[in-house]
């Protein structure tokens, strides 16, 4: 059996990416060999460049290629609100909404004692130092609506409330366009509990 070492290596690399199985990895590798050399080179450079030029904002810990990031340095953002999220992807999701104009703080994870992730593994120290310095009045906790996200939310609430801040949590409820009949019990209970007056 003929083995082409650089091809086998490329397949192996693609295979290690999330969501790429054995067959997809082979398909991607052959596609790269079929690309124009300049395009393949551009793909390789995009990977290197993204990794080299993107780092963490020293203020909010989000990904950025400028220091501090464009949101932290913007004069159009409301500096009295910080929205705390787990991942940089969550910032991108909230920004897509075009409706939130405060600042962010990225924890880079959620509390998960079983996985050995305690408060010291999250960017909580950085968050606390911002609360001392800045004119922050409200912290919105927008961690994921799962067990780890809830635990993180409760931990942060206990930590931040004594500082005299307004601490809020994004609402749980039925997703818009969803079907009440198929909602799980916990979501439905939360939706009832958090009902609003019309």
What 8-state DSSP symbol labels residue 161?
G
CB of 10 to its own copies, least distance (A): 4
CB of 88 to its own copies, least distance (A): 7
Q: Which is nearer to its own copies, 7 or 188 (CB)?
A: 7
CB of 126 to its own copies, least distance (A): 18
Q: What would the two tokens of residue 143 be?
A: 């961690």
Q: Which is nearer to its own copies, 6 or 162 (CB)?
A: 6
Query: Hey, is 143 helix, strand or coil?
Result: coil
Measured distance CA(139)–CA(153) in Å, rounded: 11
Q: Which is nearer to its own copies, 7 or 131 (CB)?
A: 7
Q: Do 136 and 81 form a contact (C-beta atoms < 8 A)?
A: yes
Measured distance CA(63)–CA(61) in Å, rounded: 7
145 contacts: CB under 8 Å, gap ≥ 6: 172
Q: Which is nearer to its own copies, 121 or 190 (CB)?
A: 121
Measured distance CA(75)–CA(25) in Å, rounded: 45
CB of 79 to its own copies, least distance (A): 16
Q: Which residues bind its own copies (CB under 8 A)?
A: 1-2, 4-7, 9-10, 12-13, 17-20, 24, 26-33, 35, 37, 40-54, 63-65, 69-71, 87-89, 91-92, 95-96, 98
């Amino acid at each position: 059996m003929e083995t082409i070492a650089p091809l086998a290596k490329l397949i192996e690399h693609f295979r290690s990416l999330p969501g790429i199985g054995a067959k997809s990895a082979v398909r991607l590798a052959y596609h790269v060999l079929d690309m124009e050399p300049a395009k393949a080179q551009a793909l390789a450079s995009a990977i290197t460049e993204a990794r080299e030029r993107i780092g963490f904002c020293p203020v909010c810990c989000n990904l950025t290629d400028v220091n501090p990031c464009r949101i932290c340095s913007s004069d159009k953002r409301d500096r009295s609100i910080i929205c705390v999220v787990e991942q940089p992807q969550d910032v991108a999701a909230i920004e897509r909404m075009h409706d939130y104009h405060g600042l962010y703080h990225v924890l880079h994870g959620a509390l998960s004692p079983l996985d050995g992730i305690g408060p010291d593994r999250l960017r909580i120290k950085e968050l606390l130092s911002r609360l001392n310095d800045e004119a922050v009045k409200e912290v919105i906790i927008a961690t994921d609506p799962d067990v780890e996200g809830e635990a993180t939310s409760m931990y942060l609430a206990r930590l931040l409330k004594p500082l005299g801040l307004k601490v809020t949590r994004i609402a749980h409820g039925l997703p818009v366009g969803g079907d009440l009949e198929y909602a799980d019990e916990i979501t439905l209970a939360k939706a009832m509990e958090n009902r609003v007056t019309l």
